[in-house]
Structure formats: C-alpha cells, structure tokens
C-alpha cells in the first residue's frame, strides 16, 4: 500500500505546489493590475506637477530604504536557510537591532537633506512614517519568501500596495476634492499599518525559535562586512533610479518627470509579474540547490528562469506597446501623449533589467557576489556618461537612453560572469 500511494502523494504535492503558484500569480497580478490602473488614474485626475512630485517622492523613498536597511537582508537570506529553526529568531533580532541603530543615525540626516532640497513640509511629514512602514513590510515579505511562504508574502504585498491604490482610484473618481497627494499618502500609510499587522501575525505562526537568545554582535558585524559591498553596489544602482528623475526634471521640468514616471509605472509592472510567477519560486530553490551543491538542478532552474523571463518580457512588451496609446488617449493630457517616444527606451531598459535578474539570482545563490557588485558599481558612471553625452543632442530622451545602456551593461556583465563560472565548474570553495 505504501508503495502504491507514493505516486499519489507526490501527485498531491505537485498539485498543491501548482495551486500555490497559481494563487501567488493571481495575487501578484491583482497587485500589478491595481498599480497599473492607479498610475493612469493618477495621471488623469492629478496635475502633471503633482505626478512629478509623487515620482520624486517614491524614488527618494526607495533610496532611503537601502540607507536604513543596509542591504542586510542579502546576508540574512542565505544564513537563515543554513541554520536550524531554533536559531533563526536570534538572527532576525540582530537584524532588527542593527536597523534600529541605523534609523537613529540616518533618518535625521536624510530629513535634513530633503529639507535643504526644498521638499514641502507635508511631503516630509509623510516621508518618515511611510519609509518605516515600507521598510518593515519589505523585510517581512523577504523573510516569508525565503521561508517559502510566497502566498502570504503576496497577500501582504497586495495589502500594502494594491489596497490603497484601489481606494485612491475610487476616491478620485467619486470625490474630486480627494485628488491630491495628501490623500494618497494617507491611504498609503493606512495600508502599510494593515500589512504590518498581517505580517506580524504570520511571522508569529512560523517555526522560528531563538528570540530569547542574546544578540550576537559578532555575527552582526560579519553581516555588515558582507552586506556593505552589496550596499555600495545597490546604492550605485538605485542612484541611477533616483538621479534619473531629478535629471529629467533638470532637462524638461517637473511635468516631464510626471510623464517619465507614468511610463516607468507601466514598464515596472513587468518585474512585479516576474517576481510573482518566476523569481519568488525559483530563488529559494536556487539557494537550496547551491547550498547542497546540486549544480545540475541549479543549472536546470536557471535555464527555466531564463526562458520564462524572456517569454513573459516579450509578451509584456508587445501588449504594453499596443495598448499604451489608447490609454494615453483616455488620460487626455497632451503632456503624456507628446512624450510617448520615451516609452520604447523605458521598456527596453525594463526588459534588460528583468533578463539580467536571471544571472543575478544564479550568481547570488552560488555565493559569487563580486560580479553582481562590480556590475552595479560600473553602471553608475556608464549611466552618467551616456546620459550626459545624449543630453547634448537628444535632451528629451537622454535619461531613458542612459538607463537602457546601463541596464544592458549590467545584464551582459552578469550573464558573462555566470556562463564563465558555470562552464569552468568553479565553486565558491575553490575560489576561496
């Protein structure tokens, strides 16, 4: 009986896994769809200047997340899967203690810089709570994904990103007086609180022990040394995705930033879908295979990731290119229709970024961090130089062209590094 039931059990496991992946995709797609629609309703009902300020706010927020998080999750993600369940709580407590210290140091300096940059008082007041909530919820989602609870991670993502977008659209349609950034920021904050409560509830149910153990500061210092290099590379990469908006403002004004942000919002949905249907499932498996030195299985996973990513990217590019002109006509504002030439470059940059994540995860899972770090650091001067060069002849397209060149450079660098390491059967142990 046991022998006969084994295939049935395996079949049930595959069925459950398939259902979980489908549910995860549905949840992420729901988030993607709401964010996609939100960007267009924002463009339709809010003036382009406010859309531009919203874009600057979100870009600065994302950059701030790395300053207060120190990219420490890069170290923790690999460590959690190599220790027993009764040690994980101590690691997470060490991460929280480090982040608490970073907030005390970084937050006052960041607020001072933004004040000097001319941010309004209202935006500054919203920046601090949203930053803290986004950081907490982001770390909880990463923890859930690493521990293979992708469905809950997608639910919390929908709560913190999709729910307030739905509410904002409903209010903008029904109540014209709500068409301003303060209402949007208030809804964002409320959804962050709800997602945080859900995340805490779920983490309490996970088999994580060791919360009463003292903080291992030596382990924290080791994590800082590992994540510091990643932080430099990430700040360089995010520096591109922050400087682009400010540079766009310098070249074309705040309304040009609004159009740019609209197209970024459209193209950015590609990564949301890939995270849901491809990366969030393949990423933990890659780490597990690499840790067990199951390189044939890891190689197979990488191939699957590549073809899935390529197929989804091509389909997304075709659909978005076809539908976008109709959506811009519905928005009905000339500033966006006149800037449509930006989208092809933004789309290609997004696809290059998406495809480049395949060798990125492959290298990261194998413990080869240097190609990732070096490619990100090199991308910043590539972006600056290429954007500066094109700003002389194609000022309106210089920023997205610079983005495309820099992301293509990252993709090629990581792909060549992975192919070389894999072809020569180099392992982390042999490179030590």
The reported pLDDT for the residue numbered 416 is 94
Mean pLDDT of the chain: 85
Q: Quick check: 394 pLDDT over 80?
A: yes
Q: What is the dihedral of CA 293, 356, 257, 45, to 10 degrees?
A: -70
Q: What is the pLDDT of residue 393?
A: 81
- Span 297-316, pLDDT tens digits: 888 888 888 999 999 999 99
Helix axes of 342-366 and 370-391: crossing angle, nearest 10 degrees: 160
pLDDT reported for residue 1: 44
Vertex 122: Cα angle to 119 and 124 (nearest 5): 55
Comparing CA positions, the residue from 117, 26, 109 lying closest to residue 68 is 109
Mean pLDDT score, 13-31: 70
pLDDT for residue 427 is more than 80: no
Q: Residue 36 — very low, low, confident or very high, per pLDDT cuts 50/70/90?
A: confident
Give the list of residues 6+ apart from residue 177 with CB closer than 8 angstroms, or none: none
Is the pLDDT confidence value at 10 over 80? no
The model's pTM is 0.75
83 phi and psi angles, rounded to 5 deg: -125, 165
Asked whether residue 184 carries a pLDDT value surpassing 70, the answer given is: yes
Question: How far apart, in Å, do the first and last CA atoms of the chain sit?
Answer: 49
Residue 425 pLDDT grade (very low, low, confident, very high; cuts 50, 70, 90): low
Q: At residue 29, does pLDDT exceed 80?
A: no
Higher pLDDT, 427 or 43: 43
Please, are residues 414 and 371 in contact by the beta-carbon 8 Å criterion? yes
Cβ 150 vs Cβ 280: under 8 Å: yes
At residue 3, the pLDDT reads 47
pLDDT tens per residue, range 50-68: 888 898 898 889 888 988 9
Mean pLDDT of 411-416: 94
* 70-74, 108-112, 114-118: range with lowest mean pLDDT: 70-74
How confident is the model at residue 21, as a pLDDT?
A: 67
Rounded CA-CA distance 206/144 in Å is: 9
In this structure, are residues 125 and 183 in contact, taking their beta carbons and an 8 Å threshold? no
Q: Taking the CB of residue 373, how many other CB atoms lie within 10 A of it?
A: 18
Query: Which one is predicted more confidently, 70 or 263?
Result: 263
Q: What is the pLDDT of residue 344?
A: 93
CB 224 within 8 A of CB 368: no
């Amino acid at each position: 009986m046991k022998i006969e039931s084994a295939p049935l059990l395996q079949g049930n496991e595959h069925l459950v896994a398939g259902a979980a992946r489908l549910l995860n995709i549905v949840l992420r797609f729901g988030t993607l769809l709401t964010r996609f629609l939100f960007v267009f309703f924002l463009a339709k009902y809010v003036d382009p200047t406010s859309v531009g300020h919203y874009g600057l706010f979100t870009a600065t927020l994302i950059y701030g997340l790395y300053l207060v998080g120190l990219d420490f999750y890069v170290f923790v993600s690999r460590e959690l899967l190599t220790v027993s369940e009764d040690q994980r709580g101590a690691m997470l407590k060490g991460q929280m203690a480090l982040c608490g210290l970073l907030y005390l140091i970084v937050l006052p300096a960041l607020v001072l810089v933004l004040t000097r940059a001319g941010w309004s008082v209202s935006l500054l007041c919203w920046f601090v709570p949203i930053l803290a909530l986004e950081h907490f919820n982001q770390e909880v989602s990463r923890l859930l994904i690493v521990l293979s609870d992708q469905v809950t991670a997608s639910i919390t993502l929908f709560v913190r990103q999709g729910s307030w977008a739905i509410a904002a659209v409903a209010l903008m349609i029904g109540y014209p007086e709500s068409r301003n950034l303060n209402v949007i920021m208030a809804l964002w904050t409320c959804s962050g609180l709800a997602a945080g409560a859900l995340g805490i509830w779920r983490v309490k149910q996970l088999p994580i022990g060791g919360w009463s153990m003292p903080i291992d500061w030596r382990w924290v210092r080791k994590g800082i040394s590992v994540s510091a290099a990643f932080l430099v590379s990430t700040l360089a990469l995010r520096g591109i995705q922050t400087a682009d908006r400010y540079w766009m403002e310098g070249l074309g004004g705040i309304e040009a930033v609004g159009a740019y942000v609209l197209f970024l919002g459209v193209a950015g949905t590609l990564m949301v879908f890939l995270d849901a249907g491809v990366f969030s499932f393949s990423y933990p498996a890659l780490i597990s295979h690499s840790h067990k030195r199951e390189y044939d299985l890891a190689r197979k996973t990488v191939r699957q990731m590549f073809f899935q990513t390529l197929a989804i990217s091509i389909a997304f590019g075709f659909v978005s290119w076809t539908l976008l002109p109709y959506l811009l006509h519905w928005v009905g504002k000339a500033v966006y229709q006149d800037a449509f030439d930006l989208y092809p470059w933004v789309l290609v940059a997004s696809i290059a970024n998406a495809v480049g994540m395949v060798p990125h995860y492959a290298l990261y899972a194998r413990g080869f961090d240097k190609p990732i770090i070096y490619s990100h650091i090199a991308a910043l001067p590539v972006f600056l130089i290429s954007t500066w060069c094109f700003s002389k002849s194609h000022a309106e397209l210089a920023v997205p062209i610079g983005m495309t060149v820099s992301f293509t450079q990252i993709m090629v660098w990581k792909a060549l590094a992975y192919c070389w390491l894999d072809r020569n059967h180099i392992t982390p142990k042999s490179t030590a």
